[in-house]
Structure 1
Amino acid sequence: MQTYQIAAIGGDGIGPEVLECGLRCLHAVAEFQGFRIAVERFPWGSNYYRQYGEMMPGDALETLKEFDAIYFGAVGDPEIPDDVTLWGLRIAICQGFGLYANVRPALKFPGVRSPLRPDLANQINWIVVRENSEGEYAGIGGRSHQSFAHEIAIDAAVFSRVGIERVQRFAFELCRSRPRKHLTCVTKSNAQRFGMVLWDEIFDSLSKEYSDVETDKVLVDAATARMVLAPASLDVVVA
């Protein structure tokens, strides 16, 4: 019987609680499907930071690469700056392993109440694919003249052809596996005249290659309105 090695990182806040509930579900699925999971828990996160001055040890990635999967809870603590907690744990893991696609299914389950009207809420069945390693997550920037009146801070968003194409191609392939085969590209190329324009151009090019997938493109402002007013108009979203 196949055994999968899972590294479990509860992290902060509700993370440990959610993780334990999720592991119960994983064990149930494993029993039903005929495989095993072996779980090793790691106490990394904000409490670890309080003790050791870092969110995870320096050799954490070497440790994690021996596992088949990483199950992560949550990160963030009101007493520690968010840029320290996020960049010291989740982003460090994502960038360290090249995890460029953040895949987020959204589905309205029967019996779960929603703030939307039932006729709209019941139409929610999306998968959102968000680029997870570039853009603002590239971590390029800096601060100068700190504490002076003329202090400045710069964050640069990075858009590479390789990074854009791989996440968009991932979304197209995912879209092909779904009945509707409809992919919505979310953009902000009206304001971001270089990176997001490249994003749009690559999407248009890939659309010709994936002619079996229906596509549309929408500005992020309008996309959020569609999620509320016309949820059935969305299937797979790439952003």
Structure 2
Amino acid sequence: MRTISVVPGDGIGPEVIEPALELLAFLGLDVKLDVLDHVNAETYVSTGRALTEADLDRVRGSAATLLGAVGDPRLGDTPYVREVLTTLRVELDLYANYRPIRLWHDKLSPLRDKTKRGIDCVIVRENTEGLYSGAGGNLSAGSSQEVAFDLDVSSYRGVSRILDFAFSVARTSVCVVDKANAVRHGGTLWQRCWREAVERHPHIDTTHLYVDTAAMRLVTDPTAFDVIVTNNSNGDILSDLTAGLAGGLGVAASANLNAATGQGLFEPVHGSAPDIAGTGVANPFAAVLSVALLVEHLGHAREAEAVRAAVAAAIEHDRVTPDLGGSLSTRQAGAAVLAELR
């Protein structure tokens, strides 16, 4: 029996994780849960630390981790979120952020052209380097002469492995997205690694776009893309854009993966959403779809596709929360997916 560690977290995190775990239990897989419900903002407020080495050891010892959300407005200017999210990603070396986006129903798309609405692609985002690596600093901090700098870090190893990962999940094509015409040093490295990766994978179609062009292309014809691979910051922005093209963050799931070790952290993209926490209207579908990614990662592809089909059916029948135009509560929307599975 394999262990799945669960971090419900903050805000709507515990609310959306509850129906996701009910669905996981319904699937009847040979797994047990290790719930770390103390890893949250309250623990950080009272102790000054949210994630201990003992917690990390529990996560390391599990087959996969399901995360609800972390973030609390009381802790805006503290290292809390970084301590949890970045520590998990860096300590487990989860270098590949995998965000599949599918239009579950035509009515969810904001695009006018019906022929261009059917987005079904993956954003593969480098997850441990780039502008989010934390490298940088301030000179003359707090003065009128202050200078702040954040370093966009790229390594040959980091870029090469994220490109290879992108090719490994591609069905038809891979598009690398960068800003090599303006960010010259990192861009040169990315382009060098890209040429080498293309040679290693000659049977996959490839394209290259600058990030501004890619953003424009996504909103004019998102059907043109299969896999987009890019750096940390570009991937952060483009994955939210693609989520908007498919119905919003309420249906956006993600996985943080290491292809070599098999470690995986699965989470809805939406964050803790403190503005709706406790109201009972948070959309659980992103958490449910994250469970689908998790069980697929564990080798249960049939069950994962059944979950996705159940979500699509619930949307088809308007059994959804207010963000998707419905009137159901979080619990009711989760129950709707379970009813479709039954």
TM normalised by structure 1 equals: 0.89
Q: Which runs of 5+ in 1 are unaligned?
A: none
Kept in 2: contact 1:27–1:36 (CA 8 A): no
1:4, 1:150 → 2: CA distance? 55
Q: Which residue of 2 aligns with 1:221?
A: 212
Q: Which residue of 2 aligns with 1:161?
A: 156
1:84, 1:76 → 2: CA distance? 10
1:143, 1:233 → 2: CA distance? 42
Cα deviation, 1:50-106, whole Å, max 9, x if unaligned, reads 111122224322221111111111122222126623211011100001000000000
Q: Which residue of 1 aligns with 2:76?
A: 81
Q: Which residue of 2 aligns with 1:91?
A: 86
1:213 partner amino acid: I
Paired-residue identity, %? 32
Kept in 2: contact 1:55–1:89 (CA 8 A): yes
Q: Which residue of 1 aligns with 2:250?
A: none
Q: Which runs of 5+ in 2 are unaligned?
A: 231-342
1:28, 1:227 → 2: CA distance? 37
Q: 1:98 is paired with a residue of what secondary structure?
A: coil
Return the offset for 1:111.
6.3
1:143, 1:14 → 2: CA distance? 34
2:122, 2:78 → 1: CA distance? 27
Q: Which residue of 1 aligns with 2:2?
A: 4
2:42, 2:155 → 1: CA distance? 36
1:189, 1:195 → 2: CA distance? 7
Tell me: CA distance 1:147–1:227, structure 2 relative to 1, closer, same or farther (3 Å): same
Out of 12, 15, 18, the position equivalent to 2:13 is 15
Q: 1:149 is paired with a residue of what secondary structure?
A: coil
Q: 1:212 is paired with a residue of what secondary structure?
A: coil
Kept in 2: contact 1:128–1:236 (CA 8 A): yes
Structure 1 residue 37 corresponds to structure 2 residue 31 = yes
Q: Which is worse superposed, 157-166 or 198-207?
A: 198-207
Identify the structure with bigger relative contact order (alpha carbons < 8 Å, sequence gap 6+).
2
How many aligned residue pairs are there?
Answer: 229
After superposition, residues 1-239 of structure 1 pair within 5 angstroms as 3-29=1-27, 31=28, 35-42=29-36, 43-81=38-76, 84-110=79-105, 113-117=108-112, 119-120=114-115, 122-175=117-170, 178=171, 181-239=172-230
Kept in 1: contact 2:7–2:66 (CA 8 A): yes
2:35 partner amino acid: R
TM normalised by structure 2 equals: 0.63
Cα deviation, 1:120-141, whole Å, max 9, x if unaligned, reads 5641101110000011222112
2:102, 2:91 → 1: CA distance? 30
1:192, 1:111 → 2: CA distance? 37
1:87 partner amino acid: R
Structure with more strand by fraction: 1
Root-mean-square deviation (CA, aligned residues, Å) is: 1.7
Tell me: CA distance 1:87–1:217, structure 2 relative to 1, closer, same or farther (3 Å): same
Tell me: CA distance 1:28–1:161, structure 2 relative to 1, closer, same or farther (3 Å): same
